[in-house]
Amino acid sequence: VLMVTRGAQGSQTWQPYKVGPAATILKKPRCLQQHPEDSLPTASVILCFHDEAWSTLLRTVHSILDTAPRAFLKEIILVDDVSQQGQLKSALSEYVARLEGVKLLRSNKRLGAIRARMLGATRATGDVLVFMDAHCECHPGWLEPLLSRIAGDRSRVVSPVIDVIDWKTFQYYPSKDLQRGVLDWKLDFYWEPLPEHVREALQSPISPVRSPVVPGEVVAIDRHYFQNTGAYDPLMSLRGGENLELSFKAWLCGGSVEILPCSRVGHVYRNQDAYSPLDQEATLRNKVRIAETWLGSFKETFYRHSPEAFSLSKAEKPDCMERLQLQRRLGCRTFHWFLANIYPELYPSEPRPRFSGKARHDPGKMGRGEERGKLSKTRTRLGFGIHFCVGVHFQLHNTGLGFCADCQAEGDILGCPMMLAPCSDSRQQQYLQHTSRKEIHFGSPQHLCFAVRQEQVILQNCTEEGLAIHQQHWEFQENGMIVHILSGKCMEAVVQENNKNLYLRQCDGKARQQWQFDQVYAVDER
């Protein structure tokens, strides 16, 4: 690697730059036995920078050139995000012009890391995009495992093991144990050692590690998959949180996220004090966008852990319409599916109401139904935000077709398929409760729960023990849809001949997927 030094008269000279102790990092022996295929896809490595230190930037560029096979490295694209340092202007242009396969793009306005990466992606021609921070150091064999995994499945989002380079001394600290990327309820990313059950499930120490979240420092993704699934959120600010959004989108919309132990890249981690208040505000604003776009009802859990984000969300309500439309187009699952299947350790332990708000009385419904002695049935339409109490009955009303969920079987109703029937306040087979455990209880004549068999909604014995989230758990969303948490699909009334049975279908918001709980209780008219 070359570095620039200045002579007494200000003239520039180029001298070798020592790559440092990272060159001695040894891979796992099993990784050395892996031989890349000849037909791997090609990579475009995208480095974005704003006033990056000259030597650090060149260290990154040359470590890529020195370690990535030319057959697989299509190009390195440098994106200058309006750097002000003089050395990064004409001197950098001259230097890059002498490097084969390296391109330099210059933005004419400040984009921030997220949009700068998107600019680089639009100019890339490789099969795979590798987004890399401009202060990294690569090792021989880092690129091939990334390309190989994506070649096997173009919907995989993969990352190398990220080692730490001290920002003051440039001392290299290789990670010793396998880790995965996770998050907390403040939507902060951090590394966690693999839980025992995850480690035991690996076929070998070099097997790809399923990771809830991909790190932001280095990430590889198929170029067409990246663009077809919405790229990065173009309305995110400057930097921060883009790796969470990319990860949620991958997991919830049909892809996956992995850390590959046979790929290693060192990263210079900046001192946290180096981030300006503007950077910190941009990250908080991005977290609010992620919460409003991807967390569904769990955004309230995020806001409880981050009051400053809650205040910002009230002051500046983000426009997430395009991202929500993207979710519908891609047929994405809900965040409950992510918690159930990908990172159940994050699932909130505190009991919460199923909705937020209060019961709304509908004056047009008051006193509806015929008088039965001195009691008449009264129906209250529930808004989002109430606990369902024992002893209070509810009917599940499909607002698209105007009927209520019902079990038509006589006698033993275990396994009874749920269907729609005319709503009747006096019919006990329509009395339901949605509990704090997210179950839909069918209360009469025996205690059963809504369950699923071959995508049909049926009645089964309620599961008392087992997983934190299981196949009898349902989520009621503010848009009126009922989501089966494990599958991520929505309850829909399917019209077949003379029946309207309830099935699971991809969530698309059609009228037959619109539901409402109506409360039915007795009022003494004396």
Report helix angle 321-330 to 277-294, nearest 10.
40
The pLDDT, as a whole number, for residue 376 is 33
User: Which pLDDT band, with edges at 50, 70 and 90, does 466 fall under?
Assistant: low
Q: Is the pLDDT of residue 371 over 50?
A: no
Would you say how long the chain is, in residues? 526
Say which residue, 276 or 295, is predicted with more confidence: 295
Nearest residue to 398 via CA among 475, 504, 502, 474: 502
% pLDDT > 90, the chain = 52
Taking residues 137-166, what's their average pLDDT?
94
The pLDDT, as a whole number, for residue 29 is 72
Q: Is the pLDDT of residue 261 over 90?
A: yes
Number of H helices and E strands in the chain, helices first, is 13, 27
All residues at 6 or more sequence positions from 327 whose CB lies less than 8 Å from its CB, including other chains: 252, 253, 293, 294
Which range in 96-105, 331-340, 374-383, 478-487 is most confidently predicted, on average pLDDT? 96-105
Pair 255, 157: CB distance under 8 Å: yes
Which amino acid is located at 230 in the chain?
Answer: G
Copy the structure tokens of residue 404.
Answer: 């209520």
The pLDDT, as a whole number, for residue 216 is 93
Say which residue, 29 or 101, is predicted with more confidence: 101
The neighbour count for residue 271, using CB atoms within 10 Å, is 8
User: Which pLDDT band, with edges at 50, 70 and 90, does 446 fall under?
Assistant: low
Percentage helix, strand, coil, to 5, in the chain? 30, 30, 40
Q: Is omega for the bond preceding 29 within 30 degrees of 0, making it cis?
A: no
Q: Is the pLDDT of residue 487 over 50?
A: yes
Say which residue, 275 or 149, is predicted with more confidence: 149
Taking residues 108-132, what's their average pLDDT?
95
Nearest residue to 158 via CA among 35, 41, 25, 322: 41
The pLDDT, as a whole number, for residue 469 is 58
Q: Is the pLDDT of residue 468 over 70?
A: no
Pair 205, 30: CB distance under 8 Å: yes
Taking residues 188-194, what's their average pLDDT?
93
Copy the structure tokens of residue 199.
Answer: 């480690």
Copy the structure tokens of residue 493.
Answer: 């009334």
DSSP state of 154: T
Element (H, E) at 279: helix 277-294
Taking residues 139-167, what's their average pLDDT?
94
Pair 485, 336: CB distance under 8 Å: yes
Report helix angle 112-123 to 242-252, nearest 10.
60
Q: Is the pLDDT of residue 387 over 80?
A: no
The pLDDT, as a whole number, for residue 134 is 95
The pLDDT, as a whole number, for residue 306 is 93
Q: Is the pLDDT of residue 367 over 80?
A: no
φ and ψ at 245, to 5 degrees?
Answer: -65, -40
Identify the weakest region by mean pLDDT among 201-205, 266-270, 308-312, 380-384.
380-384
| Mean pLDDT, all residues of the chain | 82
User: Which pLDDT band, with edges at 50, 70 and 90, does 310 fall under?
Assistant: very high
Say which residue, 348 or 417, is predicted with more confidence: 417
Copy the structure tokens of residue 91.
Answer: 């001197």
User: Which pLDDT band, with edges at 50, 70 and 90, does 525 fall under?
Assistant: very low
User: Which pLDDT band, with edges at 50, 70 and 90, does 340 fall under?
Assistant: confident
d(Cα 302, Cα 140) in Å, to the nearest integer? Answer: 40
DSSP state of 335: H
Q: Residue 498 CA to chain centroid, in angstroms?
A: 41
The pLDDT, as a whole number, for residue 146 is 97
Q: Is the pLDDT of residue 210 over 90?
A: yes
Pair 213, 157: CB distance under 8 Å: no
Element (H, E) at 62: helix 54-67
